[in-house]
Amino acid sequence: EPEVTQTPSHQVTQMGQEVILRCVPISNHLYFYWYRQILGQKVEFLVSFYNNEISEKSEIFDDQFSVERPDGSNFTLKIRSTKLEDSAMYFCASSERQPYPMGYGYTFGSGTRLTVV
C-alpha cells in the first residue's frame, strides 16, 4: 500500500537554527498538508498546498514557516529560526484530489519528532 514517507523520524536542533522537515507524498497525489502535535496537545492544522502554492494556512503558520515542493517529489516544511515552542511531532499528509467528501484519500506519514533545545 502506498505510503507517505517522512524523514528524519527524530530531529534535534538548537534554538534559532533553521530546520527542514522532509516528506515524500504518494506519487499521484496532488494536495499536500502539514499538521503538528505538541506533546500533550491536539493535532493542529498548519498548511495545505496545491498547484505549487499554499491554499490554506492556520494562524500558527507565520512568517517563520514556509513550504516548498522543490522537485516534484519532495514536500518540505522549513522553520527559519526555531523556538523552544516549535518542539512537536510534525505530520505530513497528502490526498489524491480536493478532499470532498473530506478525508477522501488523505494519507498521513508517521511523523517527525522535532526537539528544539
Looking at the DSSP bridge assignments, the partners of residue 79 are 19, 65
- In degrees rounded to 5, what are phi and psi of residue 85? -75, -5
Nearer to other proteins, 81 or 110 (CB): 110
42 binds other proteins (CB under 8 A): yes
Torsion angle, alpha carbons of 110, 77, 19, 41, to 10: -60
7 binds other proteins (CB under 8 A): no
- Which of 33, 34, 65, 90 forms a contact with other proteins (CB under 8 A)? 33
25 binds other proteins (CB under 8 A): no
The pairing of strands 53-57 and 43-50 is antiparallel
- Which of 11, 22, 30, 44 forms a contact with other proteins (CB under 8 A)? 44
DSSP SS3 for 26: coil
Residues in contact with other proteins, counted by CB under 8 A, come to a total of: 30
- The set of cell numbers assigned to 17 is 537554527
| Residues near other proteins, by CB under 8 A | 3-4, 9, 31, 33, 35, 41-45, 48, 55-56, 58, 91, 93, 98-104, 106-111
